[in-house]
Amino acid sequence: MNDLHALPSAGLTLTAGQAPCAALDIPANVATAAELVRRSADQGSALLVLPELFLTGYELPGIVADPDRYALGPADARLDPLAAACAEARVAVVVGAPTRHQAGSQLRISALVLGRDGRFVTQYDKQHSTPNERAAGFSPGTKGCTLTLDGWRLGLGICWDLGFPEHARAAALDGAHAYLLGAMLGRGSGAHQRTTVLPARALDNTSYTVLANHCAPSGPYHGCGGSAVWNPDGTLLTEAGPDGPALATAHLSPTALARARADDPVLIDPSLTAPALPRTTADLD
């Protein structure tokens, strides 16, 4: 377990992005992601987070019907335009995609991570697959994942992971200063989750919380947008609107983080526990 008292020495600017995606059109969605990377760079961002299954859309039946076509992997040439944009802009990206660890293996809902040089760094597989996702043929992941970037530790989550407080707590107990979530939160109950659960996860763990959410119809849902960043005291730092392409860019402050953790020292209680699952650490520096 990492030192929970260790804080970054400098700030970090990152972006939660949203845009409509084309159903099962990976090249088109890669192009959209690449454009959002370039726009994030214009705002001084070092990292862009994009929604769950952004590279295909939330199109479970179509993905399952032809996984050889729609599952992506680290060496997939269809990611090349996105990798080139990252390298040119010097912006890392976390983007949602369906994956399989090898041909014929179980499908996962994953977050692929490309570094600021455009190279594949790691992937995180959604640990809490919904009942509908499991019924469709997607298996849950078995490991958490923490990224490091410019001295910041960043825990990854995907959509329904946010419904389990221990998931974000496990990231915080691994030393995460921020919790990054790509999601498909729809209008209605999803919008309610966005305004209640996300700030709660920030406050629970005195960690910045970042949401990149769908903002248009995808599969059976219509994303409510509102990609956002919450402060470690649970207050809203910045947010995008409900519709259309948009970026929510925020500067994460080690001073604000230290203040929140001094005011509410929830992470130093000796009774804290979290699921004893292994975690992968990947260095974006």
Residue-wise pLDDT tens digits, 25-38 = 999 999 999 999 99
Assigned domain for 260 exists:
yes
In degrees and rounded to multiples of 5, residue 119 shows phi and psi of -80, 145
Residue bearing tokens 């990149």: 212
Q: What number of other Cβ atoms are within 10 A of residue 155's Cβ?
A: 29
Angle at 158 between CA 269 and CA 61, to 5 degrees: 150
DSSP 131-188: HHHHHHTBPPP--EEEEEETTEEEEEEEGGGGG-HHHHHHHHHTT-SEEEEEE--BTT
What domain range is 250 assigned to?
Answer: 13-283
Looking at the predicted structure, is the pLDDT value of residue 3 above 70?
A: no
Query: pLDDT, tens digit, for every residue of 45-73?
Result: 999 999 999 999 999 999 999 999 999 99
Identify the CATH number of the domain in which residue 97 sits: 3.60.110.10
- Residue 81 falls within a domain, yes or no? yes
3-class state of residue 263 by DSSP: helix
In a domain, 5, yes or no: no
Question: For residue 70, what is the enclosing H or E element?
Answer: helix 67-70
Tokens of 203: 């406050």
Give 209's strand partners: 179, 230
Q: Is residue 273 part of a domain?
A: yes
What does the block give as tokens for 93? 């990206």
pLDDT-based confidence at residue 268 (cuts at 50, 70, 90): confident
Give residue 203's pLDDT: 97
Whats the size of the chain, residue-wise? 285
Q: Is residue 1 part of a domain?
A: no
pLDDT of residue 269: 76
Looking at residue 5, its pLDDT comes to 73
In a domain, 7, yes or no: no
Average pLDDT over residues 242-246: 95
> Which residue carries 């691994």 as its tokens?
174
In this prediction, residues 110-130 reach a mean pLDDT of 98
| Partners of 222 in the β-ladder | 217
- Report the alpha-carbon distance of residue 230 to residue 224 in Å, rounded: 17
The number of distinct structural domains making up the chain is: 1
What is the C-alpha separation between 26 and 274, in angstroms, rounded? 36
pTM, 2 dp: 0.94
Token duo for residue 134: 């499991």
Rounded CA-CA distance 74/76 in Å is 6
pLDDT beyond 80 at 270: no
pLDDT over 70 at 225, yes or no? yes
- Pick from 204, 210, 151, 205: nearest CA to 179: 210
Residue 101 pLDDT > 90? no
Is pLDDT at 275 greater than 70 in this prediction? no
Whole-number Å distance between alpha carbons of 86 and 107: 26
C-alpha 118/C-alpha 129 separation (Å) is 28
| Position 178 in a domain | yes
Instruction: Report the Cα 264 to chain-centroid distance in Å.
Output: 25
Residue 133: per-residue pLDDT:
97
Any domain includes 201: yes
